[in-house]
Structure 1
């Protein structure tokens, strides 16, 4: 008779796959709310399921890949019929995040995104892996006869850009949300600044995407402020907000996209989204890495001061005033 543990393991694995499939399908429904037609093919400027799929792989391992395939199939079934083209799309959209995950694992990617190398890895390997989904998907459409071969590259570029933006915008946000905690810094000015950042981000994002003036560059001071002061937990939501409102304006032909053709609008949109994602991700990673280095240096100095104080008691107070003050503060806190 099989043990209960042996039965629970396959059941847990199946539940994880179903959860991944449901998350992929849900992200697909959100992405399809903003779609455009490029050379007769329907594409999305931002495809959230790629970021969702990669995040699930980073959290649960490569074993959940069948859930991604089921999610792709379910998404296709909701917008059209299942035909020969579906095979290529399912294969590409499943292989792309798996390949990105394996490449990230190869370079020892850390989901905390607390190093510059992690940010660069997500940009070049995570978004680069989406070349597979674009190539497989567009090739399948061309092979089915629904798209002329001469239109391969325009559609391929739009497909890849949407998938890559899903990785660069959605993945950092999900990685942040999974380890979100209440801030340790409870001083009033921290909450005041956080509130000010939220309000400013909303006002700026609405203004630059709804006015016909070309003010899209005003997004970057907000992203820099968020990254410098709050790192990725602050910059990732701001990047998502700006990206979503910009996509809404571009697909509606409003704001700075009103006087542009579809292709011109898509180029401007993807340039904005790409630069916003890179600014928020890489700058936040650099700041987080520098904070980590500073803390390790302070810890090493504290340890060294304690060793010296043991060798020469009372002789190090004037040499380590900051550390000695911190030790007294810690001691007082423990006594209280």
Structure 2
């Protein structure tokens, strides 16, 4: 027994260290991926979607509060990739770590379920995990740039808004996908694989056309989201939303399609309005449908149990009486009442 306990005590720090390194690596990789597409607002460069925030919130929901160290290490690596360490590093790392931790604490306090099977879970991700908590990272990051003189004070508002929306989009689009993949259990037995293939083919045709056509056809994405949510719940809707958002961001940063010949501010507003409304539609619609289906299944199971009880009663097979307390524990008597 002592050897077993000793092995467990030694393995726990190793597991925590491995989880920390995994979170840090995923955060850094997501950061480098997000930096591939940038926009400029008031002379400041920002990313329309900042995937590391989604990775950080998902890691905390999966591994718990101990994942904060991996988030801090990953944020430090991303900031240092821009150049040698500067005084702004402390504020940026602190803000990018505190915001996901705050999101996790608020979600846990509400009894959040990572399967997103209830409407309240979807609303919590939107208003607490994304819009609420990311105020911290945006305020800390932009405030540090203003304090160090790297950003003019009169540019604080537009840059802060762009920073906040980019971090929030990372939570809305990336966190549900990671949580969905975490809940997948092998082997997969898709029941509607033909319809799934048809949805993928439709998305591969409609989304590139909508995001690259000079005519504003972005509305064509919403029927795909509704189809995916109705038939495949979160698994289909969040993947479809992420795919459409990535292609829209590529088109916006390239200045093509419906984003051609637009000012930086107008382009940012149009892109983030599309990404935000699409993410909200995918997340909340899938949550409503999943909750309704779970409620219907619970009612069906209750009805089946009731039918079995009624059949048992009508057949005259009542359950045996429990032993009487005054018979010395010898069991029920077959005497008439």
TM-score under structure 2 length normalisation: 0.90
Take 1:137 and 1:152, find their aligned partners in 2: how far apart are those partners? 11
Take 1:58 and 1:178, find their aligned partners in 2: how far apart are those partners? 11
Indicate yes or no: 2:211 matched with 1:193.
no
Equivalent in the alignment of 1:241: 243
Equivalent in the alignment of 1:30: 33
Q: How many angstroms does 1:254 deviate by?
A: 0.5
> Which secondary structure does the structure 2 equivalent of 1:114 belong to?
coil
Q: Where do 1:139-288 residues align within 5 Å?
A: 139-181=143-185, 184=189, 186=191, 190-288=192-290
Take 1:91 and 1:41, find their aligned partners in 2: how far apart are those partners? 20
Take 1:202 and 1:270, find their aligned partners in 2: how far apart are those partners? 22
Equivalent in the alignment of 2:12: 9
Q: How many angstroms does 1:15 deviate by?
A: 1.3
Take 1:178 and 1:209, find their aligned partners in 2: how far apart are those partners? 30
Take 2:12 and 2:220, find their aligned partners in 1: how far apart are those partners? 51
Q: How many angstroms does 1:262 deviate by?
A: 1.3
Q: How many angstroms does 1:185 deviate by?
A: 5.4
2:69 aligns with one of 58, 66, 70: 66
For structure 1, which segment, 111-120 or 38-47, has the greater mean C-alpha deviation from structure 2 after superposition?
38-47
Equivalent in the alignment of 2:332: none
Equivalent in the alignment of 2:297: 295
Q: Deviations over 1:90-144 (max 9, x none)?
A: 0000000000000000100000000000000000000020110000000011111
Q: Deviations over 1:12-37 (max 9, x none)?
A: 11111111100000000100000122
> Which secondary structure does the structure 2 equivalent of 1:76 belong to?
helix
Q: Deviations over 1:156-201 (max 9, x none)?
A: 0000111000000000111111112455553xxx222111111111
- In the alignment, structure 2 segments of 5+ residues that lack a partner are 317-337
Q: Deviations over 1:276-325 (max 9, x none)?
A: 100000000000000000000000000000000000039xxxxxxxxxxx
- In the alignment, structure 1 segments of 5+ residues that lack a partner are 315-336
Take 2:85 and 2:141, find their aligned partners in 1: how far apart are those partners? 14
Q: Where do 1:80-95 residues align within 5 Å?
A: 80-95=83-98
Residue-pair matches, total: 311
> Which secondary structure does the structure 1 equivalent of 2:81 belong to?
helix
Question: Contact 2:27–2:71 (CA<8 Å) still a contact in 1?
Answer: yes
Q: How many angstroms does 1:80 deviate by?
A: 2.2
Take 1:185 and 1:148, find their aligned partners in 2: how far apart are those partners? 54
Q: How many angstroms does 1:252 deviate by?
A: 0.5
For structure 1, which segment, 301-310 or 177-186, has the greater mean C-alpha deviation from structure 2 after superposition?
177-186
Take 2:218 and 2:27, find their aligned partners in 1: how far apart are those partners? 30
> Aligned Cα RMSD in Å?
1.4
Take 1:302 and 1:27, find their aligned partners in 2: how far apart are those partners? 48
> Which secondary structure does the structure 2 equivalent of 1:80 belong to?
coil
TM-score under structure 1 length normalisation: 0.90
For structure 1, which segment, 32-41 or 107-116, has the greater mean C-alpha deviation from structure 2 after superposition?
32-41
Equivalent in the alignment of 1:40: 43
Equivalent in the alignment of 2:80: 77
Take 1:235 and 1:41, find their aligned partners in 2: how far apart are those partners? 33
2:124 aligns with one of 118, 121, 125: 121
